[in-house]
Structure 1
Amino acid sequence: MKRRQFLTGSVAGAAVAGTALATPAIAQDVKQWKMVTAWPKNLPGPGVAAQMLADRITALSGGRIEVKLFAAGELVPGRGVFDAVSEGTAELYHAVPAYWGSKSKGILLFGSQPFGLRADEQFGWLQHGGGQALYDEMYGRFGIKPFLCGNSGPQMAGWFRTEINSVEDLKGLKFRTTGLASEMANKLGMAAQAMGGKDMFQALQTGALDAGEFIGPWTDSALGFYQVAKNYYWPGVGEPSSAEECGVNAEAFGDLPDDLKQAVSLACESLYNPVWTEYTTKHAQSLKALVAEHGVQVKKLPDDVIAAMGKAAAEVIDELRQDDDELVKRIAESFVSYRDLVGGYMTYADNGQMNARASVMGY
Structure 2
Amino acid sequence: MIKEKKSLKGSKAPSRRKFFKTAAATGVAAVAATSLSAPAVAKERVEASMVATWPRDFPGLGTGAQRLAKRLSDMSDGRIQVTYYAANERVKAFDSFDEVASGNSQMYHGADYYWVKKHPAFGYFTAVPFGFTYSEMNAWLNFGGGQELWDELTDDFGTQSFAAGNTGVQMGGWFNKKIRSANDLKGLKMRMPGLGGQVLGKLGGSPISLPGGQIYENLVSGAIDATEWVGPWNDEAMKFHEAAKYYYYPGMHEPGSTLACGVNKSWFTSLAKSDQHIIKTACAWADTTTMSEYNAKNGAALDRLVNENGVKLMKFSDKVYDAFAGGAAEVYDEVQQHSALAKKVHAAFVKGRKEIGAWTNLSDSPYISQRNRALGL
TM-score by length of 2: 0.88
* Equivalent in 181, 187, 203 of residue 202 of structure 2: 187
Alignment of 1:32-181 (within 5 A): 32-181=47-196
Counterpart position of 2:368? 354
Query: Is contact 2:94–2:211 with CA below 8 Å preserved after alignment?
Result: no
Query: Is contact 1:146–1:248 with CA below 8 Å preserved after alignment?
Result: yes
1:319-345 residue CA offsets vs partner (Å, 9 max, x unmatched): 33x324111111111111000111222
* Equivalent in 334, 341, 351 of residue 348 of structure 2: 334
* Equivalent in 345, 355, 362 of residue 359 of structure 2: 345
* Equivalent in 241, 244, 249 of residue 229 of structure 1: 244
> How many equivalent residue pairs?
341
Query: Is contact 1:39–1:47 with CA below 8 Å preserved after alignment?
Result: yes
Query: Is contact 1:61–1:264 with CA below 8 Å preserved after alignment?
Result: no
Counterpart position of 2:211? 196
Alignment of 1:291-306 (within 5 A): 291-306=306-321
Query: How far apart are residue 62 of structure 1 and its match?
Result: 2.8
Query: How far apart are residue 58 of structure 1 and its match?
Result: 1.4
Amino acid at match of 1:128: F
CA RMSD of aligned residues (A): 1.5
Query: How far apart are residue 74 of structure 1 and its match?
Result: 0.6
Amino acid at match of 1:196: P
CA distance in 2, matches of 1:215, 1:244: 12
CA distance in 2, matches of 1:244, 1:62: 25
Higher radius of gyration, 1 or 2: 2
SS of residue in 1 equivalent to 2:160: strand
Query: How far apart are residue 271 of structure 1 and its match?
Result: 1.8
CA distance in 1, matches of 2:319, 2:372: 23
CA distance in 1, matches of 2:106, 2:234: 27
Query: Is contact 1:186–1:192 with CA below 8 Å preserved after alignment?
Result: yes
Counterpart position of 2:15? none
Amino acid at match of 1:356: Q
Alignment partner of 1:207 is 2:219:
no
SS of residue in 1 equivalent to 2:89: coil
CA distance in 2, matches of 1:63, 1:42: 22
Counterpart position of 1:288? 303
CA distance in 2, matches of 1:23, 1:276: 41
Give structure 2 stretches of 5+ with no counterpart. 1-36
Query: How far apart are residue 262 of structure 1 and its match?
Result: 0.5
SS of residue in 2 equivalent to 1:153: coil
Classify 1:114/1:40 alpha carbon distance in 2 versus 1 (closer, same or farther; 3 Å).
same
Query: Is contact 2:168–2:291 with CA below 8 Å preserved after alignment?
Result: yes
CA distance in 1, matches of 2:80, 2:162: 17
Query: How far apart are residue 80 of structure 1 and its match?
Result: 0.5
Alignment of 1:313-328 (within 5 A): 313-320=328-335, 322-328=336-342
Query: Is contact 2:139–2:356 with CA below 8 Å preserved after alignment?
Result: no
SS of residue in 2 equivalent to 1:294: coil
1:162-202 residue CA offsets vs partner (Å, 9 max, x unmatched): 11111111111111111010111101111000002232111
**Identical-pair percentage:** 38
